[in-house]
Amino acid sequence: MTTPRLSAQLFFIYDTHCPWSYVVTPLINEIVKAFPDIELHLWHTAFFDGKNNSTSISKNEGLNQVENLANISFSSNYKKTLDISTNSILSANLMTWAQHKIPNLALTLLNALQQAHFEQGNQLAKQSDFDGIITSLKISPPAKAFKDKLNNDTLVQLEEIYSLQEIINTEAIPALLLAINDELILLNHNFYLTEPKAIIDAVQIELNRLT
């Protein structure tokens, strides 16, 4: 695969506890493998703050929509957590730290968090919920990541997210954006959910167009 010679960045605006974000992450994995020179920005929105009633996902048939479009089935362990208010604050703090301090492991960490939540039913709501992942990845996040409030680093990143959402005129998550030089392209992830590798061609077309 041809690597881009021009300035290219990929922005993934997501929430670790959002089922739509979960099924879009494989697209990010494919893009990163195919285009290692593209700079990746993983921006966690901290949408679920413990006040959002996660049962609305199933009540609005949102979960069925995700399953149908992505051709997957969510685990029974995860579905049991829909009776509990979802809180992604600690994950937002942890991912913000990883994005800035260990960017080479940030995507690996995101995949591990989503696997724990959506496949194992881990709520990722308290520090001990993260112990296994932290140990397996051999990372050392700061204590402030596990306080039950958004830390300053996360708040600063949220301001960047809000600014970008204003530019693209949507607050919907997930959002997948390719920035090439001064041009910003919103990629329609729905086209590729059942065949993540297909997004590679879409990215290559945009790179060729702007070369």
> What is the tally of structural domains in the chain?
1
| 96 within domain boundaries | yes
What pLDDT was estimated at residue 56? Answer: 52
| 3 within domain boundaries | no
Provide the residue range defining the domain that includes 47.
Answer: 8-209
| 165 within domain boundaries | yes
pTM assigned to the model: 0.92
| 58 within domain boundaries | yes
| 2 within domain boundaries | no
Cα distance between residue 129 and residue 110, in whole Å? 14
Q: In which residue ranges of the chain is pLDDT below 70?
A: 1-6, 52-61
| 176 within domain boundaries | yes
What pLDDT was estimated at residue 59? Answer: 46
Q: Which strand (E) or helix (H) includes residue 127?
A: none
Cα distance between residue 22 and residue 14, in whole Å? 9
| 205 within domain boundaries | yes
CATH number at residue 176: 3.40.30.10
Ordered alpha helix ranges (H), the chain: 19-34, 55-59, 62-70, 76-80, 89-101, 103-118, 131-137, 152-168, 199-209
| 87 within domain boundaries | yes
H helix and E strand count, the chain:
9, 4
